[in-house]
Structure 1
Amino acid sequence: MTDTVRLMHYDPRWRQEFEQTRSGILHSCLGWVIDVQHIGSTAIGGMIARPVLDVVAAVRDDDDSQQAIAESSDMIEGLNFRRVTTPMWAAEAIVLCKPRSGDPTHRVFLTYLDSPFYRSSIAVRDALRSDRELSLRFEETKVTRWRQGAGEPQKYADDKSVFFAHLIEHHGG
């Protein structure tokens, strides 16, 4: 794994890659996962992003949700993903990265439908997609903080989390 965060210009292939990932998750999870959404900067057209495709996959929020998450996690691991430590800001999700070794190219946040993480991820994505000025401000902040932190992963994550907390506070979640 690299010791620095890499950013790149938007790649239109990310949308197709999401569709393939979505299809694989829905197909392999045998009905346990009922919704898969593209989130993060790669889901925002034209935005400079870390080239890691972020996806939120959701199971029903019912009596079977714990079993659904356990079963789905095992099935997603079968798609060449590995389970990783869940960051505090995604507390109610299980995080799986692909490939199994090396720098991740995909991250799946497995949670239940309507969890706080699910709601805030979708709200932030939708706010950034619908408000070009907001997305440009976020991109500028992200790139500036990335440069100031010399691409150091924890500093980059901490700086972004402040901006996301502000977005969630103002755009729901």
Structure 2
Amino acid sequence: MQSPWTDEDSKDPSSAIRLMHHDARWKQEFEQTRSGILQCCEGRVVEVEHVGATAVGGLIARPVIDVVAVVADPCDLSEAVDLIIGLNFRTVDLSPWAGRLPPKTGPGATQCCVKPRHGSPTHLVYVVSQGAALLSQMVRLRDYLRAAPERAIELEEKKLEIWRGTDADPLAYYEAMANEFEELQRKLGQ
């Protein structure tokens, strides 16, 4: 799991992590985002997946739609990112999580865009090349949580514990959640 927040943002109280109960409108938000990405990317993006807690019905989540956009040709990745930026997104520097992220170019490349609304992120789009490990990890975890509601509830409880324990600080929260997701991925054999 990665964060769109920088160390500087974590000092701003308005950037605290917010969690909320599942909102049925998240699915519609994803569908609109998916449609916009597919249309604007003119065939460069061949698949768009809704991932993260907003993609799992009933879970408490950050009110941020997490999306993975897949390009068939790694050479199209930068162009796809540029086109997505035209949908009111901006690129995100995820250097604090560089050790956990795939490279920005080459096989398995990943770039990230965020859509702010009034300063707070509303959408995160991970743009990846086909076959990227990040895509399979996120989709597999989403599908696992959808199929195993008891495990989803356990994750939700852990998320709330982490949120309380970090006082909603973005950097601390994302670091702890990244560790939690790495453990889940190990259990799933990823």
TM-score exceeds 0.5 = yes
1:3 to 15, 28, 38: 15
Would you say the 8 A contact 1:5–1:152 is kept in 2? yes
The corresponding residue for 1:90 is: 101
Residue 79 of structure 2 aligns with which residue? Answer: 71
Q: Aligned-residue CA RMSD in angstroms?
A: 1.4
Q: Distance in 1 between matches of 2:139 and 2:28?
A: 19
Select which of 13, 35, 39 maps to 1:23. 35
The aligned counterpart of 2:183 is: 166
Give the superposition deviation at 1:113.
1.6
Q: Distance in 2 between matches of 1:96 and 1:122?
A: 18
Counterparts of 1:109 and 1:154 in 2: how far apart (Å)?
Answer: 19
CA contact (8 A) 1:120 1:172 kept: no
CA distance in 2, matches of 1:172, 1:100: 37
1:54 equivalent in alignment to 2:54: no
Which structure is richer in relative contact order (CA contacts within 8 A, separation 6 or more)?
2
Shift of 1:101: 6.5
In structure 1, what residue type is equivalent to 2:186? E
Find the aligned partners of 1:12 and 1:147 in 2 and give their Cα distance: 25
Alignment check: 8 A CA contact 1:52 1:107 kept: yes
Number of the residue aligned with 2:167: 150
Could you tell me which amino acid in structure 2 is paired with residue 71 of structure 1?
A: E
Contact 1:97 1:105 in 2 (8 A): yes
- Residues 31-58 of structure 1, C-alpha deviations (whole Å, 9 max, x = no match): 0000000001100100000001000000
Name the SS of the counterpart of 1:99 in structure 2.
Answer: strand
Deviations 1:82-107 (A, max 9, x none): 00113333323101000276111000
1:108 maps to a residue whose letter is V
Q: Matches of 1:144 and 1:103 in 2, distance apart? A: 23
- Does residue 140 of the first structure (1) align with residue 129 of the second (2)? no
Aligned residues: 169
**Identical residues among aligned pairs (%):** 42
Q: Which amino acid aligns with 2:178?
A: S
Tell me the SS of whatever aligns to 1:50: coil
Q: Is contact 1:84–1:95 with CA below 8 Å preserved after alignment? A: yes
Q: 1:112 to 1:147 in 2, by over 3 A?
A: same
User: How far apart, CA to CA, are the structure 2 residues paired with 1:150 and 1:167?
Assistant: 23
